[in-house]
């Protein structure tokens, strides 16, 4: 299999609240059932329930030959479990026969921290701008635990990661 090394990072496109990251790989990667070869990957941040074929989602998927309406319908259906409008991270794997699979991950930790603390952005100089309780950190950790890549970690470890992010944003932790 080998290590996935990005060959080209085409750039980042920002339009309103949707971000698109383009990544192509040096080599072809076989998927889990070993029948198809992945030719690339696209990372998007899309608000829950609001995927549509307009820019930047449409051009990002269209240039890879992905059926836009199929993706939008599937994404909107699978993102119904989240509160509408929250930014979800999506990783789309594109295969040679123009089919795709995608994984939806929850929001970035900083989004949850900003919502809980009612701040618009973190501190630039690490000065305390707000505080958060351990119970609130535990609530965020229980949401993040559902993400692929974090499900094997203990809740305490995820809480420590969230506390580190909070401190870097200038949010103090109440004991």
Q: Please tell me the predicted confidence (pLDDT) of residue 126.
A: 73
Final residue before a domain boundary, out of 48, 81, 105: 105
Whether residues 85 and 170 fall in one domain? no
Final residue before a domain boundary, out of 76, 105, 134: 105
- Residue 1 within a domain: no
Whether residues 95 and 114 fall in one domain? no
> Which domain range does residue 10 map to?
6-105
- CATH number of residue 57's parent domain: 3.30.1550.10
CA neighbor of 100 nearest in space, from 22, 19, 34, 38: 38
Torsion sign across C-alpha atoms 124, 84, 141, 32 = negative
- Residue 97 within a domain: yes
* pLDDT tens for the chain, residues 1 to 175: 443 433 333 333 444 455 555 444 434 455 555 567 888 889 999 999 999 998 888 998 988 888 999 999 999 999 998 889 899 999 999 988 889 999 999 889 999 999 999 998 888 887 889 999 999 999 999 999 988 888 899 999 999 999 999 999 999 999 7
Predicted TM-score (pTM) of the model is 0.73
Give me the phi and psi of 157, to 5 degrees please: -65, -40
Whether residues 139 and 68 fall in one domain? no
Final residue before a domain boundary, out of 105, 134, 162: 105
C-alpha to C-alpha distance for 169 and 124, rounded to whole angstroms: 8
- Residue 45 within a domain: yes
Strands (DSSP E) contained in the chain are 6-15, 18-25, 29-30, 37-47, 87-95, 100-105, 130-133, 171-174
Q: Please tell me the predicted confidence (pLDDT) of residue 175.
A: 78
Whether residues 129 and 59 fall in one domain? no
């Amino acid at each position: 299999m080998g290590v996935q090394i990005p060959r080209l990072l085409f750039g980042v496109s920002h339009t309103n609240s949707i971000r698109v990251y383009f990544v192509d790989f040096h080599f072809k990667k076989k998927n889990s059932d070993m029948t198809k070869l992945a030719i690339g990957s696209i990372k998007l941040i899309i608000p829950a329930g609001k995927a549509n074929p307009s820019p930047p989602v449409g051009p990002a998927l269209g240039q890879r030959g992905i059926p836009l309406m199929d993706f939008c319908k599937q994404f909107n259906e699978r993102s119904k479990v989240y509160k509408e409008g929250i930014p979800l991270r999506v990783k789309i794997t594109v295969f040679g026969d123009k089919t795709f699979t995608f994984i939806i991950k929850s929001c970035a930790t900083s989004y949850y921290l900003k919502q809980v603390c009612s701040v618009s952005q973190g501190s630039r100089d690490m000065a305390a701008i707000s505080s958060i309780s351990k119970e609130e950190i535990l609530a965020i950790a229980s949401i993040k635990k559902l993400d692929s890549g974090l499900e094997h970690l203990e809740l305490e470890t995820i809480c420590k990661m969230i506390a580190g992010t909070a401190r870097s944003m200038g949010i103090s932790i109440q004991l």
